[in-house]
Structure 1
């Protein structure tokens, strides 16, 4: 594999468009290393300098210029590009830069051709706006906090070993540049299940009893917060059962010691946490 390259792959539903040789040549790009920041400051009266009030990471603009180098009819390819980069549909951009591959959600801000006449190479420019400015891993990371381990599974053969209770906590390492929201799957049975980040003291507790057929699903992402109970493939909203002291916490950068608890001595079948590391750039 040639690592001295850059590839832009656009995905929109079932459609995919890759800006890479031999069909396309990327001539210029910007916005993948970082986005703009805003520092709100106030002047210190009677003292030198200023005081920082807050920091804000703004949405990310990404601009790409490319040439079409393929053998297809230029007219057909022109129509295909116009349709693909429609402002009426969102998409996911995956960037492979020197062997590092990450993705980000985007909206099309503008698309236009820069060719001077019909005989020139088909040149075009794309301007994207990413409301969430953070790149993410391509594949979601999953961690299981063991509850029962080394047990037999049907069919078993004699002699078999009885199940042992696993450790109800596990260290989860966030190797990204910023905090990462979680998806949590709490497989019943359990009474008032609770998961705590011992590294920060934050916890989420649901005041509800789960049967062995229930899965408690929690999403802590901004704008996507959910608490649901899944039974037989059917999801039911369970937001009203949240302990009021709960925090929809994210994984901090570095180590996060997560622990689950259940009241009345009931031990869940398993607890899974899933997340994607988030990055300032590629």
Structure 2
């Protein structure tokens, strides 16, 4: 296994289970297990209880890390570790590569700085560094970003875009297979012209509709994730952004892709044949 952590400032470090690596993983916990909050209620004289809901708690991960090197190298690498795992920087990205080659990422923050413990074996200085990471969103995400284009898409893409990437089918509807363990949020990009654009998840019966016109030089961006990433914005040709929450249909639901096959449909009162829609998502997993 190989893990890397990149903080919000862009600094990163890589640890490996390989014996020749100067940054090593000695042991790790929490990559597969997530605590669960089982919510239940109990009536008078009831044997047992009635299960109401079950929710995942945030994920705690513990790594027992080792740093090898001379005394001077230890000082430099210890300083690097403190800089990278500075909790004041907020969430960074943990990237895990399994022995099978499968890769996963997760947003997390250091729960305190590394606790360095120094030892010496046959003239080689070993710096043990127990480290705790806290992930408010407990789910692993696929490294691969999947995209499904819809409606008059071919020939209208603008560069650059990021790899790795998966392309879906073209048309005013698409079948998107979410083979992850849990629902995953989506990012939707509408490029006009379109009047009152709407996208339906036929599988769940949910939809998102904006009650206004999107011109040929504008695009509408929707992110259905929870928290600060959630947004509905209209972006002008010069990059100016404005919130579009005031134009959303009140019956809309910022839906996720449920596990399994999702039938997605795009429509608009006018301009549906000329507009383009691109749906972007990352599959999510309970454990690795």
TM-score band w.r.t. shorter chain: 0.7 to 0.9
Match status 1:74 vs 2:77 = no
* Counterpart contact for 1:206–1:242, Cα < 8 Å: yes
Does residue 1:263 correspond to 2:269, yes or no?
yes
RMSD between aligned alpha carbons?
2.2
Is 1:200 aligned to residue 196 of structure 2? no
Equivalent residue runs for 1:209-224 within 5 Å: 209-223=213-227, 224=229
Kept in 1, the 8 Å contact 2:110–2:131? The answer is: yes
CA contact (8 A) 1:181 1:250 kept: yes
Per-residue CA deviations over 1:54-93 (Å, capped at 9, x if unaligned) read 2121000010011113466212222222222212113110
Alignment correspondent of 2:54: 55
Q: Is the 8 A contact 2:67 2:128 kept in 1?
A: yes
Q: Tell me by how many angstroms 1:220 deviates.
A: 0.5
Query: Displacement of 1:46 after TM fit?
Result: 3.5
Q: Do residues 122 (structure 1) and 121 (structure 2) align?
A: no
| 2:102 aligned to which of 100, 103, 107 | 100
Moved more, 185-194 or 46-55: 46-55
User: Higher mean Cα deviation, 39-48 or 216-225?
Assistant: 39-48
Tell me, which stretches of 5 or more residues in structure 2 are unaligned? 157-169
Q: Report what 1:15 is aligned to.
A: 11
Q: CA deviation at 1:44?
A: 4.4
Q: 1:147 aligns with which of 152, 166, 169?
A: 152
TM-score (norm 2): 0.85
Once the two structures are TM-superposed, the CA of residue 148 in structure 1 deviates from its matched residue by 6.0
Aligned to 2:166: none
Tell me the distance in 2 between the aligned counterparts of 1:142 and 1:148.
Answer: 12
Which residue does 1:243 correspond to in 2?
Answer: 249
> What is the SS of the residue equivalent to 1:263?
coil
What TM-score, normalized by structure 1, do the two folds share? 0.87
Does the aligned pair in 1 maintain the 2:86–2:110 contact within 8 Å? yes
Contact 2:119 2:126 in 1 (8 A): no
Question: Following TM superposition, by how much is the alpha carbon of 1:199 offset from its aligned partner in structure 2, in angstroms?
Answer: 0.6
Worse-superposed segment, 258-267 or 237-246: 258-267
Structure 1, gaps ≥5 residues long? 1-5, 153-165
Deviations 1:72-126 (A, max 9, x none): 6212222222222212113110111222210001111022013357975111111
Which one of the candidate residues 225, 232, 249 is aligned to 1:227?
Answer: 232
- Aligned-residue offset at 1:14: 2.3
Secondary structure of the 1:264 match is coil
| CA 109–276 in structure 1, closer or farther in 2 if over 3 Å, else same | same
CA deviation digits over 1:119-176, x for unaligned, max 9? 7511111101001111101131111013366x89xxxxxxxxxxxxx63101011111
User: Cα gap change, 1:123/1:265 in structure 2, threshold over 3 Å: closer, same or farther?
Assistant: closer
CA distance in 1, matches of 2:206, 2:135: 29
Greater C-alpha radius of gyration:
1
SS of residue matched to 2:88: coil
The offset of 1:48, in angstroms, is 2.9
